[in-house]
Amino acid sequence: MARVHKRADRPFTGRHMALVMAGFFGVVVGVNLLLANLAVATFSGKLVENSYVASQGFNRLLGAAAADKALGWHMAVGRGQPGTVRLHLNDASARPLTGAAVRGRADHPVGAKASVALTPREVAPGIYEAALPAGRWHVAIEVRASGHVWHSAGDAL
């Protein structure tokens, strides 16, 4: 029969507990510092130039949103050919919205890239395309047709 050597048990001391606690909190503090550094490096936190001035136009924006909703128009945003954005515009009856004057702006979600002005042209009934570099964008569009003006809420792409 083989002899099994039993290792002598060492008691768990206060020194061991101090090392465990120091290791645990060292990992927590290190991860927090890393994540805080990454957050500050990738997002400035600035959304508007002056938040008070921006808040003064809020009721005007609510009125415009109600007028847009009353028209019943809707838009689907997607990618067309590489380097383009494609807009599908329909009226309240789900018919293609043709002959509209469309313009817009694409903003990078966290402001890492400069805004891009969009001047879509109609390539098929109710389908408009404009140049837009690859990446993630928030696309806001203004459509003028049939004596009405309609704004999209800013679709993500």
Q: Is 27 left (phi over 0), alpha (psi -120 to 50) or beta?
A: alpha
Instruction: Give the Cβ contact number of residue 92 at 10 Å.
Output: 11
Query: What are the backbone dihedrals phi and psi of residue 113, each rounded to the nearest 5 degrees, phi first?
Result: -120, 155
pLDDT greater at residue 18 or residue 157: 18
- Write down the mean pLDDT value for the chain: 88
pLDDT in tens, 68-96: 889 999 899 998 888 999 999 999 999 99
pLDDT in tens, 33-80: 999 999 888 876 777 788 888 888 888 888 888 988 899 998 999 988
pLDDT number for residue 28:
98
Sorted by where each begins, the domain ranges of the chain are 72-156
Q: Which residues lie closer than 8 Å to 26 by C-beta, 6 or more apart?
A: none
pLDDT number for residue 121:
94
Question: Do 117 and 85 form a contact (C-beta atoms < 8 A)?
Answer: no
The domain defined by 72-156 folds into Immunoglobulin-like (2.60.40)
